[in-house]
Amino acid sequence: MSTGISVRGAGAGVLPGCRPGVSEVNLPSGGRCVSELECYGPVRVSRDRAAAARVPCDGRHTWETYAVGELPAALVGAAPAAINAAPVVRSVCNVRTFRLTSGIRSQAGWRLEVLPPAETDVDRTYRCLAGRGVDALAAPTLTGR
């Protein structure tokens, strides 16, 4: 697998596995680190779309982004279930990538989810999310604060 890491910041808002100077973070092809921690409320999924509001990380939130990737053009407009199941997305949003970027060794207690880009968004970035339940996170968690 080729490296897909992109690090643009070195602050406390960067996941441990994505900080400059961390050796050998080898994300799957197409995957990259976020430049700063992103937090979201619950993901609302309907048959044809999925959405979540971005919220401050210093308050109650449901999800934190551990990696991102660009949705292939062939999947633009696809149902959330099809995007979730797509091998190109699954190769980025998975337990291995979660462990690499967060530095958390065990996935126990964590749920992983994919947040597709909004249908109306020109940016095709999908997000790999990790959480512990609805509003179960009260502060930045994946960054180690």
- Report the C-alpha gap between 39 and 129 in whole angstroms: 9
Q: For residue 138, is it within any domain?
A: no
The total of other beta-carbon atoms located within 10 Å of residue 78's CB is 17
Asked whether the beta carbons of 14 and 143 are under 8 A apart, the reply is yes
Strand partners, 70: 125
pTM listed for this prediction: 0.86
Q: How many domains does the chain have?
A: 1
| Residues spanned by the domain of 126 | 16-131
Q: For residue 7, is it within any domain?
A: no
| Ordered DSSP codes for 80-115 | HHHHHH-HHHHTTSSHHHHHHHH--S--TT-EEEEE
Q: For residue 125, is it within any domain?
A: yes
Q: For residue 30, is it within any domain?
A: yes
Q: For residue 136, is it within any domain?
A: no
Q: For residue 46, is it within any domain?
A: yes
pLDDT digits (tens, 9 = 90+) for 94-145: 999 999 999 999 989 999 999 999 877 678 999 999 999 999 999 999 987 5
**Confidence check: pLDDT of 20 > 80:** no
